[in-house]
Amino acid sequence: MAEIKKKILIVEDSRSITGVLKEVLEQEGYTVFVTHDGIDGIRIAKREKPDIVLLDLLLPKISGYEILDMIKKDNSTRHVPVLIISTLDTPESVEKSKLCGAKNFIKKPYNLDDLLAEIKNTLRQGS
């Protein structure tokens, strides 16, 4: 029986970041969904039920905190682990992210190998 690919949703407004990240994650064998705004991110999360969400905090239309809050309050998505990936790495924003339900906080710019290890670790814990 073929292994079911894990699904990753990336909510990030930087197209250069998402392009590289999507390519690397697909090479790792993941199914990747990308959106550049939070409203769309919530819609995709509800439709696709990803195994993990990679979420930026600074987004157009709606903040990453609001998206995280909506994901965690929705019965269909609240179990999905969310990794915050942001330049906004003040102690307050890290703390607020965790309080809102984020699994972890990764500072931009990140080391790709570290990010991949964190994704694998989070997915392992979730299954």
Residue at 1 is within a domain: no
What DSSP character marks residue 2?
A: P
By residue range, what is the domain housing residue 67?
7-126
Residue at 98 is within a domain: yes
Full strand arrangement of the beta sheet holding 104-107:
31-35, 7-11, 52-55, 82-86, 104-107
Residue at 92 is within a domain: yes
Residue at 46 is within a domain: yes
What is the structure's pLDDT at 51? Answer: 97
What is the structure's pLDDT at 126? Answer: 66
C-alpha to C-alpha distance for 127 and 123, rounded to whole angstroms: 6
Residue at 75 is within a domain: yes
What is the mean pLDDT, run by run of 10 residues, along the chain of 127 residues? 84 94 97 96 96 95 94 96 95 95 95 96 83
Q: How many domains does the chain have?
A: 1
What is the structure's pLDDT at 2? Answer: 58
Residue at 2 is within a domain: no
C-alpha dist (Å) from residue 44 to 24, 40, 106, 114: 21, 6, 22, 26
Residue at 70 is within a domain: yes
Residue at 49 is within a domain: yes
For residue 38, the domain's CATH number is: 3.40.50.2300
Contact 9, 35 (CB under 8 A): yes
